[in-house]
């Protein structure tokens, strides 16, 4: 490909985007050379048919910078130092498609970065308009109890690393290993300002597998934050849309009216006539298009929201069916936990599975930290085994966390138990390390009297860890004799095909009046290169996970009152106004 080397003395994100657009739209192709302070940047080659362009390279690089990133019109630039000029000339003679070089002017250190238009690029990889996309659940054979499809493109961390990990342009900036021999952990750091950083976390039997899981979770979080596969185009009030297509936000759980005026409530309260942005999902239950409020599909959107949402229901897999299945597991897990907590539902206690070495190892470690491990069956009308885990300090200590909670849900009950134990173990270990967690009883005590002071995930977790909060979870007495998990779930049917299992589960939920809606969140680069798909699963009527007590969404969800009584866990449905609604302790 013929190209021109273009040296930019000054530039902005806006001007470099215009340069890329001219090159991509008919050429001539260009190899941009520019400075950002003491950094000299060469490439990527930008022109018709190139795999990336300088616009997506610079937007990604600047987004990955720590702290405040330059705005679109901020002028950057500088002269290429004479000591670097010869090196730049050599690099310019052999440009590589999709490659950007970064040269430190003071040291002549060169780093190479593979640029890909992750999440689309308005110049070289524009996203299509969002439109109805039917989802067909075909056959997806699996082996074992993991319900994960074979995908050689993601085997080990190698393929994932090559596509996702780059410390200068992302989308994953760094991988960290931490933890102990009891449970290797890894984290995959994502771009973001210092006050809003995100990461994916992985737990496994060895660090290599933990890194792989962390990269999976990082990608799942990225695809769930903002639209990266299509452009949202529908904006209207619910009443202006076909009611058979547009999901009524009132069925998804609304905020408490008396809390929307609180100073900590920073959303625009939802009202029936409020215009919203909508994205197309697909009802697996009814086999038709469904419009869902964008803010209930993507949880890190810019601008004002009317309803709080989290990453609950996001899933990633080697097929869309797999992604939907794991998103549905997450919906079931959080729904079961919140239903038990808010309705103060007594649960059957489960004995620690002694045949599982990892669970036993972690239970022993928790014991050495002074905690008893308690496990409870929280399975509800979703029908999937759901486990609530709790650790309780044997000798209450007013200056240390006394109780911590977690949950797990999976078709295989032992997998659900293991997940719940791993999560609560991680919370306990983090809480025991003052470098990670600052447990401040003096700050937390006022939250017992004024729950609106509970604002963050840590607030939710640690106000419930106070010794004085024990009455809040007294319904989980844990004094009864535990039963074997095999007695709770006597059948462990094999699942040879996750597509078939998902279809059967959707049909069972439909018989209980629950609709399963999936929104395809897949990102084009990772879908094409790694065969990975992402989905957000929404089940109207289920209890959504929220953080910050003023953002609790329990209005308009009759299942909260009806299901515990239907399962004989309560003698009769409670009155909504009689529920104390203490802040939940989900981590």
3-state secondary structure 367-391: HHCCEEEEEEECCCCCCCCEEEEEE
pLDDT score at 478: 73
Residues 6+ away with beta carbon under 8 Å from 558: 541
d(CA 185, CA 48): 43
d(CA 175, CA 384): 33
How large is the average pLDDT for residues 191-202?
Answer: 73
Q: Is residue 351 left, alpha or beta, with left meaning phi > 0 and alpha meaning psi from -120 to 50?
A: beta
How large is the average pLDDT for residues 416-423?
Answer: 96
pLDDT score at 304: 85
How large is the average pLDDT for residues 553-575?
Answer: 97
Question: Taking 70 as the threshold, does the pLDDT of residue 70 lie above it?
Answer: no
d(CA 241, CA 243): 6
For residues 146 and 415, is the Cβ–Cβ distance under 8 A? yes
Question: Taking 80 as the threshold, does the pLDDT of residue 180 lie above it?
Answer: no
Residues 6+ away with beta carbon under 8 Å from 473: 341, 390, 403, 405, 464, 585
Q: Look at residue 284 and give its three-state secondary structure.
A: coil
Q: 86-108, pLDDT tens digit by residue?
A: 999 999 898 999 999 999 988 88
d(CA 106, CA 22): 33
pLDDT score at 129: 98
**Could you tell me what percent of the chain has a pLDDT over 90?**
82
d(CA 378, CA 84): 64
pLDDT score at 195: 47
Q: Look at residue 448 and give its three-state secondary structure.
A: helix
Residues 6+ away with beta carbon under 8 Å from 343: 560, 561, 564, 570, 574, 579
d(CA 91, CA 101): 8
| Phi, psi (rounded to 5 degrees) for 253 | 95, 120
Question: Taking 70 as the threshold, does the pLDDT of residue 196 lie above it?
Answer: no
For residues 553 and 254, is the Cβ–Cβ distance under 8 A? yes
Closest CA to 294 of 521, 13, 573, 534: 521
Question: Taking 60 as the threshold, does the pLDDT of residue 193 lie above it?
Answer: no
Q: 82-91, pLDDT tens digit by residue?
A: 889 999 999 9
pLDDT score at 480: 82
d(CA 156, CA 537): 27
Residues 6+ away with beta carbon under 8 Å from 250: 272, 556
Question: Taking 70 as the threshold, does the pLDDT of residue 156 lie above it?
Answer: no
**Helix axis angle, 54-63 to 13-24, nearest 10°:** 150
pLDDT band at 238 (very low <50, low <70, confident <90, very high): very high
pLDDT score at 181: 59
Question: Taking 70 as the threshold, does the pLDDT of residue 576 lie above it?
Answer: yes
How large is the average pLDDT for residues 9-35?
Answer: 94
Residue 21: how many CB atoms within 10 A of its CB? Answer: 15
d(CA 175, CA 193): 18
Question: C-alpha angle 439/202/182, rounded to 5°?
Answer: 70
How large is the average pLDDT for residues 549-554?
Answer: 97
Average pLDDT over all residues of the chain: 93
Question: Taking 90 as the threshold, does the pLDDT of residue 436 lie above it?
Answer: no
Q: 253-267, pLDDT tens digit by residue?
A: 999 999 999 999 999
d(CA 543, CA 292): 16
Q: Are strands 371-377 and 348-350 parallel, antiparallel or unpaired?
A: antiparallel
Match 């809480």 to its residue by tokens: 431
CA 206 vs CA 181, 210, 552: distances in Å: 9, 6, 37
Query: Tokens representing 81?
Result: 């130092």
Q: 278-290, pLDDT tens digit by residue?
A: 999 999 999 999 9
Question: Taking 60 as the threshold, does the pLDDT of residue 401 lie above it?
Answer: yes
Q: Identify how many contiguous H helices and E strands the chain contains and give both numbers.
A: 14, 22
d(CA 112, CA 42): 10
Per DSSP, which regions of 75-233 are E strands? 76-77, 99-104, 110-114, 174-180, 183-190, 198-203
Match 């910078």 to its residue by tokens: 65
Q: Which residue would you say has higher pLDDT here, 38 or 447?
A: 447
pLDDT score at 105: 82
Question: Taking 80 as the threshold, does the pLDDT of residue 364 lie above it?
Answer: yes
Per mean pLDDT, which range of 5-14, 202-211, 498-507 is the poorest? 202-211
pLDDT score at 197: 65
């Amino acid at each position: 490909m013929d190209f021109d080397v273009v040296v930019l003395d000054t530039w902005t994100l806006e001007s470099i985007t215009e340069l890329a657009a001219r090159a991509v739209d008919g050429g001539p192709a260009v190899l941009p050379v520019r400075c950002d302070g003491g950094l000299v940047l060469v490439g990527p080659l930008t022109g018709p048919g190139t795999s990336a362009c300088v616009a997506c390279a610079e937007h990604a690089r600047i987004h990955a910078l720590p702290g405040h990133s330059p705005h679109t019109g901020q002028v950057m630039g500088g002269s290429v130092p004479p000591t670097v000029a010869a090196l730049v000339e050599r690099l310019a003679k052999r440009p590589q498609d999709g490659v950007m070089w970064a040269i430190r002017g003071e040291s002549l250190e060169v780093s190479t970065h593979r640029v890909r238009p992750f999440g689309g690029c308005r110049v070289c990889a524009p996203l299509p308009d969002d439109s109805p996309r039917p989802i067909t659940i075909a056959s997806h054979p699996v082996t074992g109890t993991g319900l994960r499809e074979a995908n050689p493109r993601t085997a080990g961390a190698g393929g994932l690393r090559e596509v996702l990990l780059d410390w200068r342009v992302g989308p994953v900036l760094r991988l960290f290993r931490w933890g102990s021999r009891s449970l290797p952990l890894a984290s995959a750091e994502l771009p973001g300002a210092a006050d809003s950083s995100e990461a994916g976390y992985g737990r496994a039997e060895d660090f290599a597998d933990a890194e792989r899981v962390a990269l999976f979770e990082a990608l799942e979080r990225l695809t769930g934050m903002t639209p990266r596969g299509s452009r949202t185009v529908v904006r209207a009030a619910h009443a202006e849309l076909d009611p058979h297509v547009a999901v009524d936000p009132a069925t998804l759980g609304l905020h408490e009216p008396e809390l929307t005026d609180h100073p900590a409530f920073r959303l625009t309260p939802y009202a029936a006539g409020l215009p919203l942005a909508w994205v197309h999902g697909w009802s697996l239950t009814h086999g038709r298009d469904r419009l869902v409020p964008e803010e209930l599909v993507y949880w890190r959107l810019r601008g004002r929201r009317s309803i709080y949402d989290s990453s609950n229901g996001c899933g990633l897999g080697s097929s869309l069916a797999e992604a939907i299945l794991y998103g549905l597991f997450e919906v079931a897990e959080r729904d079961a936990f919140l239903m038990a907590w808010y309705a103060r539902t007594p649960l059957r206690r489960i004995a620690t599975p002694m045949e599982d070495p990892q669970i036993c190892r972690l239970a022993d470690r928790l014991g050495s930290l002074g905690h008893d491990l308690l496990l409870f069956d929280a399975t509800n009308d979703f029908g999937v085994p759901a486990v609530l885990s709790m650790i309780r300090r044997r000798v209450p200590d007013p200056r240390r966390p006394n109780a911590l909670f977690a949950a797990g849900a999976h078709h295989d009950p032992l997998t659900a138990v293991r997940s719940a134990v791993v999560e609560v173990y991680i919370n306990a270990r983090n809480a025991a390390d003052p470098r990670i967690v600052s447990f401040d009883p003096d700050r937390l005590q006022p939250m017992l009297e004024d729950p609106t002071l509970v604002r963050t995930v840590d607030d939710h977790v640690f106000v419930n860890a106070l010794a004085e909060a024990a009455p809040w979870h007294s319904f989980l007495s844990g004094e009864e004799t535990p039963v074997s998990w095999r007695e709770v779930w006597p059948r462990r049917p094999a699942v040879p095909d996750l597509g078939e299992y998902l279809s059967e589960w959707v049909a069972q939920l439909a018989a209980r009046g629950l609709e399963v809606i999936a929104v395809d969140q897949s990102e084009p680069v990772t879908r094409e290169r790694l065969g990975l798909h992402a989905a957000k699963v929404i089940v109207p009527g289920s209890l959504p996970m929220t953080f910050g007590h003023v953002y609790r969404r329990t209005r308009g969800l009759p299942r909260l009152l009806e299901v515990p009584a239907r399962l004989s866990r309560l003698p009769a449905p409670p009155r909504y106004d009689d529920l104390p609604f203490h802040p939940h302790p989900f981590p």
